[in-house]
Amino acid sequence: LPENLFESEFFGHEKGSFTGATSQRIGLIEAADGSSLFLDEMGEMPLSMQVKLLHFLENGAFRRVGATRDRKSDVRIIAATNRPLELDVKDGRFRTDLFYRLNVVSFHLPPLRERREDIEPLIDFFLERLKQKFDRPQLRLSDEARSELEAHEWRGNVRELRNTLERTVVLTADDEVKTIYGISRNTEISDSSQSAETISTTTKLEPLAEIEKQHILRVLQEVGGKRERAAAILGITSRTLYRKLQEFSFKN
């Protein structure tokens, strides 16, 4: 969130309070009155924003941008971070008072590779969402593909798993997913001081845009150049397919 929009997004603004404020707007704090507000990546919040958030947490009061009176909001703040905030406090990157104000009850979520029992239900959850997103109700994973996902280390945690599944679905034309895209199968990186020269792979690593282009061409070839059919298989609109073909500089 850009720093200059923090107050407006969080606390709202009055009509005419700044250029572009053509109407009154309720902020997140006010909208969440009587409920909870989840703030992700707290460690990335600039110090100037931390001051404004701390003031609200201490007083339960806020003021819309351009307003002349305070308002109250009863909100439970749930914050998450992937950074060690204790170290940020010591280094002066995170306010001590805000840290202790937020750190009432804390939970440490281990990385996904340390809770492997969560991988299978997460796969099923994201796969169901992708079926709906791309309107592909028959989509399923082969046993080999599922085993590969369950065995991966997932150093990028849930985000990596989700993005890998979505990339794979986009690049798979069939209803059954047999190949997982984006997982290195022939590269083992140890925690020791292994040099880069010793790491090898049997497949050429291509940019995602190039992989997408080749896959779209393959699907078009399989369906005899029928764009509507190709778009349906790819899970995109015919208009999007046409735009992508233009980007690839292909002619009719």
pLDDT in tens, 183-193: 765 444 444 33
Q: What is the DSSP letter of 13?
A: B
Give the list of residues 6+ apart from residue 190 with CB closer than 8 angstroms, or none.
none
Of 75, 102, 129, which one is at a domain's C-terminal end?
102
Q: 62 with 29: CB under 8 angstroms? A: yes
| Same domain, yes or no: 65 and 88 | yes
Q: Is 77 part of a structural domain of the chain? A: yes
The owner of tokens 């991966």 is 152
User: Domain tally for the chain?
Assistant: 3
| Same domain, yes or no: 40 and 69 | yes
- C-alpha–C-alpha distance, residues 228 and 231, integer Å: 5
User: Which region holds residue 190: left if phi is over 0, alpha if psi is between -120 and 50, else beta?
Assistant: beta
| Same domain, yes or no: 84 and 36 | yes
Q: Domain holding 225: CATH number?
A: 1.10.10.60
The model's pLDDT over 79-107, given as tens digits with 9 standing for 90+, comes to: 999 888 999 999 999 999 999 999 999 99
| Same domain, yes or no: 11 and 98 | yes
Q: Is 199 part of a structural domain of the chain? A: no
| Same domain, yes or no: 98 and 121 | no
Cα–Cα separations (whole angstroms), residue 19 to 14, 16, 201: 11, 7, 54
Cα–Cα separations (whole angstroms), residue 169 to 70, 129, 148, 150, 157: 49, 11, 15, 17, 19
The owner of tokens 């845009």 is 209
Of 69, 102, 135, which one is at a domain's C-terminal end?
102
Q: What is the DSSP letter of 119?
A: H
SS3 62: strand
| Same domain, yes or no: 42 and 65 | yes
| Same domain, yes or no: 40 and 74 | yes
CA 252 to chain centre: 36
- C-alpha–C-alpha distance, residues 143 and 130, integer Å: 18
pLDDT by residue for the chain (252 residues), tens digit each?
666 678 888 898 999 888 888 899 999 999 999 999 999 989 988 898 899 999 999 999 999 988 999 999 999 999 999 888 999 999 999 999 999 999 999 998 899 999 999 999 999 999 999 999 888 999 999 999 999 999 999 988 999 999 999 989 888 888 999 999 877 654 444 443 333 333 334 445 667 777 888 888 878 877 777 888 888 888 788 888 888 887 775 444
Q: Is 144 part of a structural domain of the chain? A: yes
Q: Domain holding 129: CATH number?
A: 1.10.8.60
| Same domain, yes or no: 125 and 63 | no
Q: Is 65 part of a structural domain of the chain? A: yes
- C-alpha–C-alpha distance, residues 139 and 224, integer Å: 22
The owner of tokens 């069939």 is 174
| Same domain, yes or no: 68 and 35 | yes
Residue 93: domain span: 3-102
Q: Domain holding 57: CATH number?
A: 3.40.50.300
Q: Is 117 part of a structural domain of the chain? A: yes
Q: Is 70 part of a structural domain of the chain? A: yes
Tokens of 239: 């208009």
Of 151, 184, 217, which one is at a domain's C-terminal end?
184
